[in-house]
Structure 1
Amino acid sequence: MASVEGIASQATAIQQAQVQNQADIAVAKKSLDAQKQQGDAAVQLIESAARISKSPGTGGLINTTG
């Protein structure tokens, strides 16, 4: 019976490893999604700054008298 218990133990260990791998993949996907969102936001910020700098009449004068 020791061999049956050993096989059952190995099957349980394999199943636990598979569940852990699935959890690791899910966490990695979430991290990748978050990094993509941050990258997209950075690109939008840069594009917005470029549009403002190209707008005529902006950025030339600063009102310092209030």
Structure 2
Amino acid sequence: MVWPIIQETIRIAMDFILGIIKAVMQLINGDWCGAWETVKQTVFQAWERIKSGTQQTIDSVKTL
């Protein structure tokens, strides 16, 4: 039960880091709008996955 939570946490962190790296590369290349969109998308996706994971954990605890 704990391992899937750890895996998902690692996936969220890796996706977030990769999104930030992509945004930095866009900034280096002068694509300010693209970087902003990447940051917004990265944060939104991370937040949605965190909410989903938290809700799944709460539901699991409720069933116990």
Q: TM-score, length-normalised on structure 1?
A: 0.50
User: Which structure's residues are more often helix, by fraction?
Assistant: 2
Q: Give 2:7's aligned residue.
A: none
Query: What's the CA shift string for 1:25-48, capped at 9, x where partnerless?
Result: 110011001100111xxxxxxxxx
Q: Look at both structures and tell me which one has the larger radius of gyration over its CA atoms.
A: 1
**Percent identity of equivalent pairs:** 8
2:63 to 38, 41, 54: 38
Cα-Cα RMSD: 1.4
Runs of 4+ more than 6 Å apart: none
| 1:42-65 CA-partner distances (Å, limit 9, x unpaired) | xxxxxxxxxxxxxxxxxxxxxxxx
Structure 2 portions without partners, runs of 5+: 1-28
Higher RCO, Cα 8 Å, sep 6+ = 2
